[in-house]
Amino acid sequence: MLISTKGRYALRVMIDLAEQQSSGYIPLKEIAKRQNISQKYLESIMTMLSKNNLIEAVHGKGGGYRLNRAPKDYKAGEILRLTEGTLAPVACLEEGAGHCANAAECRTLPMWTKLNEIVNAYLDSVSIEDLVKM
């Protein structure tokens, strides 16, 4: 499993919004500057987060982005699964994967299954609030 820049940047943006929560809607330009992320690339991430109701977006003068729930209510796993599509270490464990013809004989499947459970459980235990405090 390799987390892409999209996943890493999405987490950074959510932390940034949590830190700026008392400032209302934060313009994209400010987030991009603070996080040193291309504004164009950041737009695609913000669109994804907004369309999936992780953040609120307001366009026009005085607009920007903000969290729509408390930082403690966002989990790193939720954000990474959204941006990455899957956190599964092997294709046969990805959501929607068909039944593997070799599953019954696969001696490594239990190991991959356990790793998948550990990774998801850990990432689902870490909140944006936790990351703000780190």
Contact 94, 56 (CB under 8 A): no
What is the pLDDT, as a whole number, of residue 74?
98
| pLDDT average, residue stretch 114-133 | 98
Model confidence at 71, pLDDT cuts 50, 70, 90, reads very high
Residue-wise pLDDT tens digits, 15-28: 999 999 999 999 99
Q: For 73-115, how does the pLDDT look when each residue is reduced to its tens digit (9 = 90+)?
A: 999 999 999 999 999 999 889 888 888 888 888 999 999 999 9
pLDDT band at 32 (very low <50, low <70, confident <90, very high): very high
